Amino acid sequence: MTPILRDFGAASSASIIANLVTHPLENIKVRQIQYGTSVPTVFKEIVRNEGFSSLYRGMNAALIRAVISGGGRLTGFNTLKQVAIQHNILILNGNDGIYEVTIRALLATISACTAQYVSAPFDLIRTRQAAFKGTEGTPSMYSIVRTVIREHGLKGLFSGSSALMGRAITFNIAQLLTYDESKRQVVSYCDSLNENGLATHVLASMCAGLAATTASSPFENIKTLMQISEKKTGVVEITYQLYATRGLAAFFRGWLPLYFKIAPHTIIVFVVMERLRLVLGVKSID
């Protein structure tokens, strides 16, 4: 098996495990954005009216998305960094000058946007299933795809992609660059820790989760509203409506459940991925 396939196996497996743990928080976040209510209220309403199992609506689509998006972006970023180092575009464990940061941000953007765009239909399906309210059967992936194509054509499966790309760029630049830099800083300031240590990975992941949540929250809210809307609505219109009706704070509505999802998700992804990379003999490029 080639190093890229081993890396993809490590990254996608880590993403699947993280999604299994944090999926209920994703569904709570969707409902909070949809109805503008608090996290405890959303949780109680879902469990009381629809049952605990409804917190796992959209799981199948979420796991497929995890393989494509999670595995793709993490493997892509690691591979692109390795190629850049081989061609002297980047320096291994280099400084954080403007040039280095810009190149790393560009590589994160390329890997993230490619993976996110390919997985966009599954993101839409997952969001539609999470937004479904009722005790009757949740719409299947097939029924959602059929309905969307009938009403909006094939391009309807990519509804929200413009906001999704904005989220992909901000989320991945914040998460991936913060993680790499945090690893270097932790090892630099703590002599007892090394770059392959569990404590290093956990601390770096916590910093990356905080940065990613804050940077991506506005795009996450816009993307979610575009995907659950019954009519074809553009990113500019959704952004204006959101600001006009709820103000600037609306772009960060759901920040807490988003952080509660992203923080453990980030920790699980990076810790599991780093462990699997060590087992599979894949080098993590910082």
- Smallest Cα–Cα separation from 202: which of 271, 156, 283, 251? 271
Domain ranges in the chain are 3-280
Q: What is the sign, positive or negative, of the torsion defined by CA atoms of 106, 109, 112, 116?
A: negative
**pLDDT at position 144, please?**
93
Render the burial of 130-147: b for 16+ CB within 10 Å, e for the rest. bbbeeeeebbebeebbee
From the number of C-beta atoms within 10 Å of its C-beta (0-12, 13-18, 19+), residue 236 rates as exposed
**pLDDT at position 214, please?**
92
Per residue in 182-206, pLDDT (tens digit) is: 998 998 888 778 888 899 999 999 9
pTM of the shown model:
0.84
Per residue in 204-237, pLDDT (tens digit) is: 999 999 999 999 898 888 887 887 776 667 778 8
| pLDDT of 266 higher than 90 | yes
Query: Is the model more confident about 111 or about 31?
Result: 111
Q: Considering the domain 3-280, what is its CATH architecture?
A: Alpha/alpha barrel (1.50)
Q: What is the sign, positive or negative, of the torsion defined by CA atoms of 28, 32, 38, 42?
A: negative
Mean pLDDT (the chain, rounded): 88
Written as six digits, the tokens of 144 are 């959602």
- Smallest Cα–Cα separation from 96: which of 177, 10, 29? 177
